[in-house]
Structures are given as C-alpha cells and as structure tokens.
C-alpha cells in the first residue's frame, strides 16, 4: 500500500474508533496528522483589486540591490476621498459647449486573479463603474452602472505586465489586469459631466466592481445581462473599490468651466 493510502486508512480508523468511543460516552481527540484535504473548488483564487504602496528609494533597494525595486503592483495614486479642499480634486458640472478644466487626468486601477491553466490565466476579468450605489439598500447594481464611455462592462480587462508578475514571493503568479479610465484624445476622466446618467451638485460615491465570470444573465425568452451583478451560481468571485468625490455647480468659486475648444480637446 502506498504512503497516501496508509494515511487515509489511518485517518479512517481514527474516525471509526472515535465514533465508537463517543457512542460509549467516552471523550475522544482526533489527531490532526495524516489528514488530507481535497477541494473540488473550480475557481480556486478570488479576484481582488491590488495597489502598490509608495516606498522610499532605500526601501526599494533593500528588496533588490541590483534593480532597486520591490515586487509590488503598480501605484494608482488616487485617494479614496477626493478632498475638494485640494485643488486637484475640485470638479464642476458644466453647461453646454463647456468642459471642466479641473477634471481628473487618466486613472488606472489594477486587479489580479491567480487562477492559471497551462501557464496562462484561466479566468477573464470584467469590471464596471457604479455611481452612488449603496449595497445596503438592496438595489441591483445594474441600475447604477455609469461611465460606460470609459469602461465597457462586457469587455475583458487587459493583462498588465510588470516585474511584479514574476517576482512575487511564495505564491502563484498574480496575472494582474488593468482598467484605465481616460478619454482617448484628452487623456482625462470627467467625473461630473460624463457619467452617462444624471448627477447633481454635492458628494457622490464612485465604486468599481471586478469579477472573474461574465455578469449574471436572466433566463426566459428575453435574457438580460445584468452588468454589475456577479454570477455567483457560476462560481464568480468579485471585489469592490470605492471613491468619494464632490461636484460643484457652474458659477461656484471652485469651478473651472471653460469654453470647448473646437480644434481639440
């Protein structure tokens, strides 16, 4: 008999002996040796957002004397609270033929999923942007999908290659993907004017959801894909990352609405 076979036999014998002892009113301790855990999970690794942390150059060099670089994912450089007291985060709702001069520059987020098959990522990742969605209300996230011109919920995210991919320590390759929110011409991200749904002055929540399966699709004669609703029955995992920002009305002292340049962005 092989060693694993003997281990299984010993574990089974221990369980039977313990069961008999318990039936006789005697306490029993099951040893934790020779117990093998077998999983049937077909989606072993969950998807998750990742972000590097800023380090001093000395810290980077402590990771690698030759490269002076640590195995970290890329740094998004966007705080979760976009404080309107900071001039970099003063956004404005502008009128027709005007553009918010203070709109964000392009933003890139990163997510990873370690599921692998034959040396390649096994899962496709999908992401969606949600405006003012609060999961505690019980509303479907599908009703809050926004910024479709920046992020297509049905398009799989692109792989993002960096030294982090092959230098992670004591775990599987992360297979990082990126999602970039930026107008292809201006390379800017307008939070208050290009949501694709009504948005008023005041504070708002922008949430990003990433999942490792296609979004849930209803059944029936006219199936509907509910972007923003993970297909849990298909084994999907998901992660959420949220930001808070404020929109000012045009005419406010904090606004920077300017006439649209007909010759460019």
Please write the tens of the pLDDT for every residue from 3-12.
555 555 555 5
For the chain, domain boundaries? 1-38, 48-259
pLDDT of the residue at 12? 54
pLDDT, tens digit, for every residue of 87-130? 999 999 999 999 999 999 999 999 999 999 988 999 999 999 99
pLDDT of the residue at 168? 78
pLDDT, tens digit, for every residue of 194-205? 999 999 999 999
Instruction: Report CA dihedral (134, 137, 142, 145) to the nearest 10 degrees.
Output: -30
Distance CA 122, CA 155 (A): 16
**Residue pair 156/125 in contact by the 8 Å Cβ criterion:** yes
Confidence of residue 264 (pLDDT cuts 50, 70, 90): low
pLDDT of the residue at 129? 98
211 three-state secondary structure: strand
Inter-CA distances, 111 with 45, 174, 228, 263, Å:
12, 9, 16, 37
Confidence of residue 23 (pLDDT cuts 50, 70, 90): low
Q: Model's pTM, two decimal places? A: 0.80
**Residue pair 175/111 in contact by the 8 Å Cβ criterion:** no
pLDDT, tens digit, for every residue of 181-223? 999 999 999 999 999 999 999 999 999 999 999 999 998 899 9
Give mean pLDDT, residues 230-247.
96
Burial bucket for residue 155 (CB in 10 Å: 0-12, 13-18, 19+): exposed
pLDDT of the residue at 223? 94
Confidence of residue 170 (pLDDT cuts 50, 70, 90): confident
pLDDT of the residue at 25? 59
pLDDT, tens digit, for every residue of 45-103? 999 999 888 888 888 788 877 878 877 888 888 999 999 999 999 999 999 999 999 99
Burial bucket for residue 168 (CB in 10 Å: 0-12, 13-18, 19+): middle
Of residues 35 and 92, the one with the higher pLDDT is: 92
Mean pLDDT score of the chain, rounded to an integer?
86
Confidence of residue 167 (pLDDT cuts 50, 70, 90): confident
Nearest to 125 by CA among 207, 185, 208: 208
**Residue pair 110/177 in contact by the 8 Å Cβ criterion:** yes
Nearest to 216 by CA among 232, 205, 240: 232
């Amino acid at each position: 008999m092989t060693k694993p076979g003997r281990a299984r036999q010993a574990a089974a014998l221990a369980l039977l002996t313990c069961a008999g002892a318990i039936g006789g009113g005697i306490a029993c301790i099951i040893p934790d040796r020779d117990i093998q855990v077998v999983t049937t999970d077909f989606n072993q690794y969950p998807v998750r957002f990742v972000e590097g942390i800023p380090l001093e150059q000395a810290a980077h060099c402590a990771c690698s004397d030759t490269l002076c670089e640590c195995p970290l994912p890329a740094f998004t450089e966007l705080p979760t609270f976009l404080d309107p007291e900071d001039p970099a985060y003063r956004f404005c709702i502008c009128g027709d033929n005007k553009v918010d001069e203070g709109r964000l520059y392009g933003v890139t987020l990163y997510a990873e999923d370690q599921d692998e098959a034959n040396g390649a990522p096994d899962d496709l990742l999908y992401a969606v942007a949600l405006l003012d969605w609060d999961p505690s209300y019980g509303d479907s996230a599908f009703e809050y999908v926004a910024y479709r011109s920046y992020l297509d919920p049905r398009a799989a995210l692109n792989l993002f290659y960096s030294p982090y991919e092959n230098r992670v320590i004591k775990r599987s390759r992360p297979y990082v993907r990126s999602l970039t929110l930026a107008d292809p011409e201006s390379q800017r991200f307008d939070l208050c004017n290009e949501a694709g749904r009504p948005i008023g002055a005041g504070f708002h929540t922008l949430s990003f959801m990433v999942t490792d399966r296609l979004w849930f699709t209803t059944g029936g004669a006219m199936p509907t894909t509910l972007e923003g609703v993970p297909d849990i029955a298909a084994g999907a995992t998901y992660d959420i990352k949220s930001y808070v920002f404020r929109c000012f009305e045009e005419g406010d002292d904090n606004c920077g609405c300017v006439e649209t340049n007909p010759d460019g962005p």
